[in-house]
């Protein structure tokens, strides 16, 4: 059997390695458009590679995977985060778990993951062809596929094709798949910061536990929020951008962001908190007595907006000011005016529709010997190692599916 894997990213390389170990007699070739394999993996996690997550803080997969949770649930029956950690440890990569449940190599070096995969591929006998950008995959009338390349490399024939070309925010990025007539969910960016003008005075402030939502929608998220020169970022905003990626693209990144600086407290809770401060700290200045979770610089800005003076004593704060402050603390509204990249890290929402797939093997229904894995599919996650976990899990499912198919078995899931 002759297998062509298109794209030497996390999903493609992991799949190639697993498949060649399972089927040593098969010819497994990886075709990569760039001059290096695993170039993106090398820069993940700021060069440290957040390769998975313990999932301890995730109640349902939908929380981590706004698109593709069902697929991931099935994939986890074959290869989940614990299997991923065991696999890398068995290959000699010691791992460490951070307090936020993100998993990194203990070396804090993404290149250790890159070298582990590349060394494994080389030892197993996978063929790696760099600078081979695929321009077209054509199903043949008999069996198999013809794969053509951009440059002058000759076309090749493969019995089985596995497409792992990653995300692409441009719809043309998937043109090479046109002859296969697969449905594509239009790609749009996910994981971005919000541009909000007038925030630069508060730049650098981190509020550790806020909840954020988009007015008039069901989209909400919680976590830490960072005020930047351009607007707002941090885990809560990135999570919201991921869950609302398609909606925000549709409204051209113009929306009202509502911030609850007291996490899930209601306006009544906030009023009670202020009353308690009036009673307990009545003699203190507004500037000097604040809820512990709100940083002092932010507190000054919020109280000023509520009409309170920093040199005013709590005992002098009237009912109207109190109501206004309670409303600002729990439903502070900002106009989103656009989006910008967060540390160059982004993923694509959209890609090949999951309706095209047999979810047990990730083979396409239209072409049983064509498989897909990774970000090329309409699967993406919030930050925290979940995107790479999706690549590992899907790559495993495909390798398992191809191997089982080659010996006429059906894939069993746990
Ligand atoms: C800066 C940055 C940091 C990130 N950090 C993290 C992190 O720490 N943890 C995490 O979980 N996720 C992270 N992500 C997301 C994660 O890297 C991706 O979700 C993951 O790499 C997707 O794997 P993939 O194999 O599907 O695609 P990719 O890794 O993108 O690989 C696709 C490969 O296909 C090749 N290709 C594309 N088109 C063609 C073609 N026509 N012919 C041949 N080859 C082609 C590309 O050149 C590429 O090498 C990060 C993303 C970025 C941009």
Residue extents of the structural domains in the chain? 2-189+345-406, 191-263+334-341, 267-333
Averaged pLDDT, 113-138: 98
Give me the pLDDT at residue 342, please: 63
Residue 124 has pLDDT above 90, yes or no: yes
Look at residue 253 and give its three-state secondary structure: coil
Give me the pLDDT at residue 91, please: 98
Residue 414 has pLDDT above 60, yes or no: no
Give me the pLDDT at residue 93, please: 98
CA–centroid distance, 78 to ligand 1, in Å, is 22
Residue 310 has pLDDT above 90, yes or no: no
Give me the pLDDT at residue 410, please: 61
Q: What is the share, in percent, of the chain residues with pLDDT greater than 70?
A: 97
Give me the pLDDT at residue 284, please: 86
Q: pLDDT tens digits, residue range 196-234?
A: 999 989 999 999 999 999 999 999 999 999 999 999 999
Tell me the pLDDT of the chain averaged across its residues: 94
**Class for the domain spanning 267-333:** mainly alpha
CA atoms within 13 A on the CB side of 318: 4
Tokens of 23: 């089927």
Q: pLDDT tens digits, residue range 150-197?
A: 988 999 999 999 999 999 877 788 999 999 999 999 999 999 999 999
Asked if the domains 191-263+334-341 and 267-333 are classified in one and the same CATH topology, the answer is: no
Element spanning 146, H or E? strand 145-149
Q: For ligand 1, atom 23, name the residue with the nearest CA.
A: 10
Residue 412 has pLDDT above 70, yes or no: no
Q: Is domain 191-263+334-341 given the CATH code 2.40.30.10 in the classification?
A: yes
Give me the pLDDT at residue 292, please: 87
Instruction: Please report the atom of ligand 1 found closest to the CA of residue 344.
Output: 1
Q: pLDDT tens digits, residue range 260-292?
A: 999 999 999 999 999 888 888 878 888 888 888
**Class for the domain spanning 2-189+345-406:** alpha beta
pTM of this structure: 0.94
Are 384 and 44 within 8 A, CB to CB? no
CA–centroid distance, 412 to ligand 1, in Å, is 28
Contacts of 76 (CB under 8 A, 6+ apart): 61, 393
Residue to substitute in 5, 7, 30, 34 for testing ligand 1 pocket (most ligand atoms within 8 angstroms of CB): 7
């Amino acid at each position: 059997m002759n297998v062509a894997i298109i794209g030497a990213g996390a999903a493609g390389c992991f799949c190639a390695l697993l498949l060649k170990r399972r089927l040593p007699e098969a010819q497994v070739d990886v075709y990569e458009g760039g001059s290096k394999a695993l170039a993106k993996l090398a820069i993940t996690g700021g060069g440290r590679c957040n390769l998975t997550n313990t999932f301890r803080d995730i109640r349902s997969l939908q929380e981590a995977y706004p698109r593709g949770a069902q697929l991931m649930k099935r994939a986890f029956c074959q290869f989940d985060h614990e299997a991923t950690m065991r696999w890398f440890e068995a290959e000699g990569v010691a791992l460490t778990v951070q307090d936020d449940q993100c998993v990194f190599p203990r070396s804090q070096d993404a290149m250790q993951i890159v070298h582990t995969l590349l060394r494994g591929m080389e030892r197993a006998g996978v063929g790696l062809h760099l600078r081979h950008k695929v321009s077209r995959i054509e199903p043949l009338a008999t069996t198999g596929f013809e794969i053509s390349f951009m440059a002058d490399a000759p076309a090749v024939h493969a019995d089985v094709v596995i497409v792992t070309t990653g995300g692409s925010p441009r719809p043309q990025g998937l043109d090479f798949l046109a002859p296969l007539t697969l449905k594509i969910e239009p790609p749009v960016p996910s994981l971005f910061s919000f541009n909000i003008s007038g925030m630069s005075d508060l730049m650098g402030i981190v509020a550790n536990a806020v909840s954020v939502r988009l007015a008039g929608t069901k989209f909400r998220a919680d976590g830490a929020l960072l005020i930047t020169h351009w607007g707002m970022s941090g885990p809560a905003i990135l999570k919201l951008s991921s869950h609302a990626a398609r909606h925000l693209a549709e409204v051209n990144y113009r929306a009202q962001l509502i911030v609850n600086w007291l996490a899930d407290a209601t306006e009544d809770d906030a009023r009670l908190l202020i009353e308690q401060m009036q009673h307990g700290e009545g003699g203190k200045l507004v500037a000097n007595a604040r809820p512990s979770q709100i940083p002092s610089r932010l507190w000054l800005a919020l109280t000023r907006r509520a009409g309170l003076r920093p040199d005013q004593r709590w005992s002098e704060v009237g009912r109207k000011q109190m109501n206004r402050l309670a409303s600002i603390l729990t439903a502070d509204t900002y106009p989103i005016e656009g989006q910008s990249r967060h540390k160059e890290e982004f993923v694509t929402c959209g890609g090949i529709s999951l309706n095209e797939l047999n979810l047990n093997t990730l083979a396409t229904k239209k072409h049983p010997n064509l498989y897909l894995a990774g970000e090329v599919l309409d699967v993406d996650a919030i930050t925290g190692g979940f995107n790479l976990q999706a690549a590992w899990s899907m790559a495993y499912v495909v390798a398992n599916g191809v191997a089982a198919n080659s010996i006429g078995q059906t894939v069993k899931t746990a």
